[in-house]
A = this chain, B = another copy of it.
Amino acid sequence: MMRTRPLKVALLGCGVVGSEVARIMTTHADDLTARIGAPVELAGVAVRRPDRVREGIDPALVTTDATALVKRGDIDVVVEVIGGIEPARTLITTAFEYGASVVSANKALLAQDGAALHAAAGDHDADLYYEAAVAGAIPLIRPLRESLAGDKINRVMGIVNGTTNFILDKMDSTGAGYQEALDEATALGYAEADPTADVEGFDAAAKAAILAGIAFHTRVRLDDVYREGMTEVTAADFASAREMGCTIKLLAICERAADGASVTARVHPAMIPLSHPLASVRGAYNAVFVESDAAGQLMFYGPGAGGSPTASAVLGDLVAVCRNRLNGATGPGESAYAALPVSPMGEVVTRYHISLDVADKPGVLAQVATVFAEHGVSIDTVRQSGKDGEASLVVVTHRASDAALTGTVEALRKLDTVRGVASIMRVEGE
């Protein structure tokens, strides 16, 4: 069954991930040939800075003209590891037009334009694979869209950003504040010079959109994902979490509503019990917890970023796409038949941990409790502590909608006896 004409691969981008992809394609060429059923050949590498030395890559393959490379007409698979929206989007669309399949690690693009890209792939009987776009090396896209294809997924909850997990883990284990932990993450190379995409949850939100779309067979756009960063998490929040037997993680949560008729997707910091498998995910690791009707609770754990892990995911896709090509077939495309409505954040139901600074005088608790009751938010526990006329009140609620909680907090702020709302944090994973 082995054919000798090699499958030709165009590599777009040769940074941390691309150079690893090229290296493994060279060093493991025999294994890839055996696993694919045909040799696979690096036919060209598009880069921005052609003068940079790239060890192990034939300089004759290097070009700055990515468009010409994807338009060559003899390319079987385009591997896109440039990132960002443009020129990646145009290059991928062009690749399909010229008959190539595409392997991409581009979460931002997939989250924004996944539907259009899948349609373009379908129009040209090509594959679009992107395991590397979510949670790096962790096999997640393939298990969700293939292994669980006969099951009904109800929740996907994960730590999908290594930078923020590193920072939060550091705050948890050392008592450091946010800035101090961020500085360490930057110094160690876990955070970029401008960490906005990570710490404000944009990166995780893109991944949540992709995961929700696959899990619920429904198009979920980036705008559908509620997003809250983790820059305001404090050492005091970690102390509160610990008192509850919890830690704090930045979570991407995709949920089917209890009635099954709608879905939500969100990213925010949340307290989770120390006994939850996600609580023990350390450093820059990622992990995703999946709950489905038949399978029950599954978890997938591993390195969420880095050149080698991401390259592992890219190469797994490359092997699959090459096999499909040899078979004259394509793998599963977009599955959006369920077309469930995506509900706004107000309809999300969860528990809350609220810290209030209040006046230390009789009747305050009764006032506060009344506000919760008026908004239909049931209180689980209250802890009061105070001295010198100042006091703090920590309220943990039962499950309530985000809208009800928001209304409660607005009303609390208007009480004379409430000096301030020190923090509001969701409690997940119970």
Contacts and interface: CB of A to CB of B under 8 A. Distances in A.
A195 interface: no
Contacts of A217: 31, 34-35
* Best-surrounded residue of A316, A317, A324, A332 (most CB of chain B within 10 A): A316
A308 B294 contact: yes
A139 interface: yes
A343 to B, nearest CB: 21
Contacts of A138: 298
A251 interface: no
A172 interface: no
Contacts of A313: 147, 295
Given A316-B146, A316-B151, A311 B294 contact: yes
A24 B293 CA distance: 10
Contacts of A335: 34-35
Interface string A207-237: 0000000000100000000000000000000
Interface in A153-171: none
Give the interface residue-count category, chain A. 35 or more
A360 to B, nearest CB: 42
B149 A320 contact: yes
A147 to B, nearest CB: 3
Nearest to A323: B332
Contacts of A337: 34-35
Contacts of A146: 139, 142, 316, 319-320
Contacts of A328: 328-329
Nearest to A31: B152
Interface in A355-413: none
Interface in A117-159: 131, 137-139, 142-143, 146-152
Q: How many copies make up the complex?
A: 2
Contact of A149 (B35, B151, B293, B330): B35
B302 A297 contact: yes
A383 B332 CA distance: 58
A40 to B, nearest CB: 10
A318 interface: yes
A59 B34 CA distance: 47
B139 A147 contact: yes
B329 A150 contact: no
A150 B303 contact: no
A315 B297 contact: no
Contacts of A24: 150-151, 294
A299 B302 contact: yes
Given A294-B309, A302-B299, A319 B150 contact: yes
Nearest to A290: B302
A301 interface: yes
A312 B292 contact: yes
27 contacts: A20-B294, A31-B338, A34-B217, A34-B335, A35-B335, A137-B296, A139-B139, A139-B142, A139-B143, A139-B298, A142-B146, A142-B147, A148-B312, A149-B315, A149-B316, A150-B314, A293-B312, A294-B308, A294-B315, A295-B302, A296-B303, A296-B306, A296-B309, A298-B300, A298-B302, A300-B301, A327-B329
Closest 4 CB pairs of A and B: A150-B315, A139-B147, A137-B295, A294-B312
